Chain A
Amino acid sequence: MLSKSQARAFFLGGTFLFSAVFVFLTVDTLRQTDSRTNAQNITEDVLKGKEIWEKNNCMGCHTLLGEGAYYAPDLTKVVERRGATWIDVFLDDPQAMFPGERKMVKYNFTKEEKGQVIAFLDWVGKIDANGWPPKPNIPIDSIATSPAPQVKTNAVAVSQPEKFSQLCVACHTVGGKGGNVGPALDHVGSKFDSDYLNRWLSDPQAIKPGTNMPKLPLTDPERKDIVTYLSALK
């Protein structure tokens, strides 16, 4: 049977050995980190963004690289998923973009600060994280459900404006693709004329007080493009 001094030797020896291996692996990890994380792309903006991220304890709700709290979505690939434009609008008033949903603090960032946060998140999204997060691997059609409703989309002559795919699809679907906060827009063109759509987009509250639809920052040509596109959805 083990004696006390042997037990002590096991403890001290094991601790020393594995600490040494750990330190060695740490040195090697640090050596490789610059290339794995594209450290050359850590610009002034990225650093400022990281500061803002930490100063406001964003990790207290979100996760980044899967680390943090689990109250709000993981933001590792958010720039790829949502795009910079959407994040920029979202940060102005998070609750307007997800009405009636889980709340996020409104931080009143300046245009510059928002850019820095996005730069930071963009850099994080490009870290080589060994393939994390993984892509969903259970195909929806392998699950026995009633067949998905076939969405009839008419061939639209007008192509989807860039702003529409950056902002509107976060809440609305077209052809089965998009968010489910607002109604589907597949046939919106047959319900409303372009004048109404234009007024609606300019100021949703003025037409329907209390609506969940936020007033989006669109320039006149952008709004015109979207109205043309929506009118064609019949």
Chain B
Amino acid sequence: MRFQSQKVAYWFFATCMLLLSLQIVYGFIMGFARIGLDGLHDYIPFNTARATHTNLLVVWLLTGFMGAAYYIIPEESDRELYSVKLAYIQLISWVVVGVIAIIGFHFNWWEGRKFLEIPRPLDYLVVVNVLTFLFNIAMTIWEAKKRSTTQLVLFFGLLCAALLYLPGMIYFDNQTIDSYFRWWVVHLWVEGVWELIMGGILSFLLIKLTGVDREVIEKWLYVVVGLTFLSGILGTGHHYYWIGTPKYWLMVGGIFSALEPLAFLGMAIWALNMYRKKGKNHPNKIALYWTLGSAMMSFIGAGFLGFAHTWPAVNQWTHGTLITAMHGHLAFWGAYAMLVLAVISYAMPNLTGRKLFTGMSGYLAFWASNIGMLGMTGALAVAGITQVYLERKLGMDFLVVQKEIIFHFIGMLLAATLFTVGITYFIVDFIRHGLPSNEALGKNVGDLD
């Protein structure tokens, strides 16, 4: 690490690891419930496990983005963070809000809107918290001598993510309008501004890991995020087909969703090309694996699998089935989870001065978790297609169909176990790195810039 204040990122990353572990636990609870082993029903019914599982995902990814920003912004700005103290206060309050929310879910305290289950009073705390975070980042950039595109795209992404949280906090009497604006948060986050954050982080990692000229990388960053907004904003329409909005959304959503894979394809081609152009080899191969892996998996999961069921004529059958869960798993994993793990893999040796990337465990973590996630996605895909045909096309009863697909959930649980092995390796490596050390100050391990 170059700056003392980057150390704060470590604590964000550590929080990520904890929340990710918990997310996996809740995933297993749901997986077992699906095959009929729902012994926890009285204490953790499915809707509690579900809300906890998805909210933990959102929270750990946001925690990861914050950690990434605290790590990247000082380096891009060539100065210390505006306030380290504020960053710690922000982290602690963030965790407190998260813990209260998760405990609340177990006592039927929530706002039952998928992905936005956090109760209203806590929403306000989240807003204050995120504003604090943005203030800290903004002041760091403001007082910096250096302005970089990477820095600005990342900041713009984080700012928009915060602003777009607000439409989700307005209460509407009408279910259709309620749903309409819920997607402003959920869709415009994951298929809009989060991709900006992703682009910013990817750009930083590519600059560091490939040593290709910053100007070249940042030019393509603009193109990629340009494609994202070009397709993603009106692509929101694929959530508006069947909820009571006008028919033209079928056309608007259909066309622009069909373009959405372009942004992810652009991301993948960009990352691979920069890698091909590299002058020297960066020793931290594992960080490179996660970086390129994220660019490619996001294309498969978010781009291709999204494309596979957003066309209206297909979506009318797949809407609200396990097909959505299938796409969701690989999309979030490829685009955002892998990216956060890439930042962590890159930053840990720099923060602690320990070069654990030379061992086998990093590769094991990468391959086991990726193969595991592909297996889970495959199992959900088969279950989803079966469900679509039996329940939707043939008209069989919901519960009868669910019994027919139990087998695929056993497959999913097995793949999830492999995934968990991978993540365990990752976390063990994380712990073995130890705490950030002052001895690592001033130098980065093997950077090519």
Contact = CB atoms under 8 A, between A and B. Distances in A.
B83 interface: no
B230 A18 contact: yes
A128 B319 contact: no
B175 A64 contact: yes
Contact of B320 (A32, A60, A66, A137): A66
B360 interface: no
A4 B215 contact: yes
A37 interface: yes
Contacts of A14: 226, 229-230
Interface residues of B, number: 71
A2 B219 contact: yes
A73 interface: yes
A53 B176 CA distance: 14
A30 interface: yes
B95 interface: no
Nearest to A73: B398
A57 B397 CA distance: 23
Q: Taking each of B113, B226, B244, which has the highest tally of chain A beta carbons within 10 Å of its own beta carbon?
A: B244
Interface in A1-42: 2-4, 7-8, 10-11, 14-15, 18-19, 21-22, 25-26, 28-30, 32-34, 36-37, 39, 42
Interface string A105-139: 10000000000000000001001111111111110
A196 interface: no
Given A18-B230, A130-B247, A132-B241, A70 B395 contact: no
B219 A7 contact: yes
Contact of A57 (B112, B225, B395): B112
A82 to B, nearest CB: 12
Interface string B226-247: 1001100110100111111111
Interface in B68-116: 105, 108, 110-114
Given A33-B176, A136-B395, A128 B112 contact: no
A67 interface: yes
B147 interface: no
A184 interface: no
B444 interface: no
Interface stretch (A96-104, A152-160, A161-169): A96-104
A74 B180 CA distance: 19
4 smallest A-B Cβ distances: which pairs? A60-B47, A66-B320, A136-B395, A132-B242
Interface of A: 2-4, 7-8, 10-11, 14-15, 18-19, 21-22, 25-26, 28-30, 32-34, 36-37, 39, 42, 47, 50, 53-61, 63-74, 98, 101-103, 105, 124, 127-138, 140, 143, 179-180
Given A18-B234, A69-B46, A103-B45, 13 more contacts: A4-B215, A11-B223, A61-B46, A64-B175, A67-B239, A68-B320, A70-B320, A73-B398, A74-B320, A103-B38, A124-B175, A128-B244, A180-B400
Interface of B: 30, 33-34, 38, 41, 45-48, 50-51, 105, 108, 110-114, 117, 149, 173-177, 179-180, 215, 218-220, 222-223, 225-226, 229-230, 233-234, 236, 239-250, 252, 316-317, 319-322, 324-325, 389, 392-395, 397-400, 402
